[in-house]
Amino acid sequence: MKYIGKKLIMMAATLIAVSFFVFLSFFIMSGDPVTSMLGTEATPEKVEALREELGLNAPFFTQYFRWATSFLKGDMGISYSYHIPVTAMVADKIPVTLALSGLAFLMMLLLAVPLGIYTAKHEGGLADRVIYILNQVMMAIPPFFAGILITFLFGRVFRWFTPGGYVSYKDDFGQFIGYMFFPALAIALPKMAMAVKLLRSSVIGEVKKDYVRTAFSRGNRSNQVFYSHILKNAVIPVITFLGMALADMVAGSIIIEQVFSIPGLGRILLTSISNRDYPVVEAIIICIAFIVVVINLLVDIVYRLIDPRISAEE
Amino acid sequence: MLTTLTIALSGCSGDKAGENSSKITIGILQDIEDSLDPHKAVAAGTKEVFFNMFEGLVKPDENGNIIPAVASDYHPSDDGKVYTFTLRKGIKFHDGSPVTVEDIKYSIDKCADTSNGEPLIAAFSNIESVNILDEETVEIVLKEADTEFAVFLANVTAAIIPASNESPDTNPIGTGPYKYVSRSPQENFIMEQYDEYWGEGAHIKNVILKVRSSADSYVMDLEGGSVDMIARITATQAAELSDEFNVLEGTMNLVQALYLNNAAEPFQDVRVRQALCYAVDPQEIMDFVSDGKGTEIGSSMFPTFEKYYVEELKDTYSKDVEKAKALLAEAGYPDGFSFTITVPSNYQQHVDTAQVLVEEFKAIGVNAEIQLIEWDSWLSDVYAGRNYESTVIGVDASSLTARALLERFDSSASNNFINFGNAEYDAALQAAMDSVDDEEKTQYYKECQRILAQEAANVYIQDLPEFVAINKKFAGYTFYPLYVQDFSKLYIVEDK
């Protein structure tokens, strides 16, 4: 319990630091939400009046504390561009990003675990060598480029999906997941390759340990030793990686949403940055940061559950 | 025989009327990131969509005429100081409520309000009062005569909206042929045909504007079938499309130029500005940027504004490297100079133009460097802050009058982002605005253009071509001389 309490305090501190630095960076960088809102019709009088109305003439710390206080009360403010509550915007888009990264994570697990085990069991075989090469290629391709290749190949050449097509989860969940499939694949592939490599080397490392030899000498069957001893130990370093991969996928979906025209948090974030729509940018970055720190916390907890030695060490 | 012919003809011409289950999906790059209140919306991309939902007392047609809209009729007084409007009988807002003269007064007063320093439409600062004469007549009294006042009422910003609407920012109610259904940020903006529209109205029931993340995916989006139409595609994209699409060519109605900060060194010297003009061949730029298409321009006016356009001004500076070098030497720059062209990175055609300019300037010993910046930074640093040396951009007209393009170069104009200052120009512009005789007014506007060209206020290049890709299932796309899109004219050719 003390451990979780400590972690929660760290989480809160991280989120405060993130929000502060995002606020500060907007304060320093060039561009102004007011000129963005008024466009080419901006006149010094109109700019001044709108700045006053939005409270942007106040000193930096006043603006930050004003924003942070309302945020803590659950009020994320009103979008400068869309004039709608940021809370509603974020609540509408969060399921899209979570579904995309969740599906990518699931794909990675479903592909990486069997392939990792298979290649470890058949170390040096033809399949192992082919998978090794494919892994190297997949790790070298960044998700956005994988996205472009997938769109071209499966969307344009094979016509398995409509590039740029999208159906909201509110309209048809089945079709929504269908449209998420290829973008999720683009996110999953490089991470899957890494997971296969990690699991394979971890399993091979375990197989060579003394306790495995002892287990076999006691007459245990090969599969029994593998699943109840080797895999259990081999999976520990992989869990850490999976946690990091999931956090990375949430953040990485920002780029993929752009490539596949998926209206999730990422796309709103990018346009809001260019519009200097501070309330939206702050809210989304905090949401993403929150998801990432929660994933890290969960990984820590799972890690301790699998390997009690970690709790004993602390 | 007659039946067969009727069926065959209806197959060809499509169901211009009576189609109730139809929809068109149109790709847009710029989301409606604005207030839904037409009086507050500022982005050109928003206004072109709002053109379908809102109307003013009058509105522009595709030929550049001002036609009655919410008002069925209007009369300016002989001295150009009083405009009297008759409210169209039976006209209703999208929520079903009738449009009243109170709504008209409310809307015009709101646009003329100066509590924030300036009115929403600059020309409205001339309004002395808006008076309700009876239940169907309203008069607008001006402080000074303005025979062009009606064109400013045709601006989307001057839309008539209900005075009773408490949340126009999120609940738009207008009188246009389409009414608002919903919007999802960065996803879509949906409109529906307004059944009780006073005029001919829309032919397609639902218009779904899908926000695309990147112009690079336009061809795939169209070919893949996720969108039926996209405006402002590039010539290269148009060439890549299959025969499932029609590519229509119009003009963007922009004055694309290398805008020079006339207050920055060395552009204070007219000889330097003229030297840059002599170094440039607009055709070379058009060949590179828009496949040779586009129209060369020589001043701040594009050819669609036929009445005001002075064609011969494009020949003011024919490319002449020697003359350019001589002018530079005369101005004290025999070895040339260096300067920066600041370009908003989101407009590829302006970036491409800047690249050709850099090459052309090398020939006269001038070293130009391109600085790409975000659109938002361009607005605050270049446009509002005037902190730049030169920039490539396209300037459009918000209203169907030369004044919309020329007024900004008055030395005291708050949007004179090039810091142009010329007493002769100011006098000609003032004379144009004061004149009540249309011919005389036009002559003064032409004089303004001549001064801009002779003074080389900017390096004028072209009015860019506009390509619209539309699936052959649809027809009826109409180009306007303003930055608007009229979806109500689209119709379905056949059901595939």
Question: Model ipTM?
Answer: 0.79
Please say if the pLDDT value at position B15 is more than 80: no
**Mean pLDDT across chain A:** 85
Structure tokens at B114: 């100066």
Q: Is B402 exposed, middle or buried (0-12, 13-18, 19+ CB in 10 A)?
A: buried
d(C-alpha A229, C-alpha B234), whole Å = 62
- The verdict on a CB contact (< 8 Å) between A274 and B381 is no
**For residues B91-109, average pLDDT:** 96
Which residue, B348, B310, B320, is CA-closest to B218?
B348
- Residues in chain B with CB shorter than 8 Å from the CB of A156 are 220, 223-224
Which residue, B192, B167, B199, B194, is CA-closest to B58?
B199
Please say if the pLDDT value at position A76 is more than 60: yes
- 8 A C-beta contact, residue B219 and residue B435: no
Beta bridge partners of A177: none
Reported as a pLDDT band with limits 50, 70 and 90, residue A124 is confident
Reported as a pLDDT band with limits 50, 70 and 90, residue A310 is low
- 8 A C-beta contact, residue A104 and residue A177: no
Please say if the pLDDT value at position B390 is more than 70: yes
- The verdict on a CB contact (< 8 Å) between A263 and B380 is no
What's the gap in Å between the CA of B48 and the closest CA on chain A?
15
Please say if the pLDDT value at position B2 is more than 80: no
Residue corresponding to tokens 């001044």: A48
Residue B21: its pLDDT value, please?
53
What's the gap in Å between the CA of A208 and the closest CA on chain B?
51
d(C-alpha A190, C-alpha A192), whole Å = 5
Low-confidence winner among A169-178, B169-178, B424-433 (lowest mean pLDDT)? A169-178
Which residues, numbered 341 to 400 in chain B, qualify as contacts with chain A under a Cβ-Cβ cut-off of 8 Å?
374-377, 379-381, 383-384
B383: Cβ–Cβ under 8 A, 6 or more apart, which residues? Answer: A35, A40, A42, B415, B417
- The verdict on a CB contact (< 8 Å) between A257 and B116 is no
- The verdict on a CB contact (< 8 Å) between A271 and B33 is yes
d(C-alpha B453, C-alpha B422), whole Å = 12
Nearest to A163 among B185, B210, B217 (CB): B217
Rg, chain B, Cα only: 24
d(C-alpha B339, C-alpha B341), whole Å = 7
d(C-alpha B388, C-alpha B368), whole Å = 13
Please say if the pLDDT value at position B445 is more than 60: yes
With CA atoms as reference, the chain B residue closest to A274 would be: B376
Residue B13: its pLDDT value, please?
38
Instruction: Look at A3 and B122; give whichever has higher pLDDT.
Output: B122
With CA atoms as reference, the chain A residue closest to B385 would be: A44
- Residues in chain A with CB shorter than 8 Å from the CB of B374 are 31, 274
Reported as a pLDDT band with limits 50, 70 and 90, residue B10 is very low
- The verdict on a CB contact (< 8 Å) between B185 and A268 is yes
- Residues in chain A with CB shorter than 8 Å from the CB of B381 are 30
Please say if the pLDDT value at position B46 is more than 50: yes
**For residues B119-143, average pLDDT:** 92
Please say if the pLDDT value at position B214 is more than 90: no
- The verdict on a CB contact (< 8 Å) between B42 and A41 is yes
Structure tokens at B394: 């396209």
- The verdict on a CB contact (< 8 Å) between A30 and B170 is no
Phi, psi of A215 (to 5 degrees): -60, -45
Please say if the pLDDT value at position A160 is more than 90: no
Low-confidence winner among A238-242, B137-141, B478-482 (lowest mean pLDDT)? A238-242
Structure tokens at B183: 């919007």
Interface residue B211 vs chain A (CB under 8 A)? yes
- 8 A C-beta contact, residue B356 and residue B287: no
Residue A149: its pLDDT value, please?
87
- The verdict on a CB contact (< 8 Å) between A257 and B213 is yes
**For residues B248-273, average pLDDT:** 94
Single-letter residue type at A11: M
What percent of chain A lies above the pLDDT cut of 90? 18
- Residues in chain B with CB shorter than 8 Å from the CB of A259 are 213
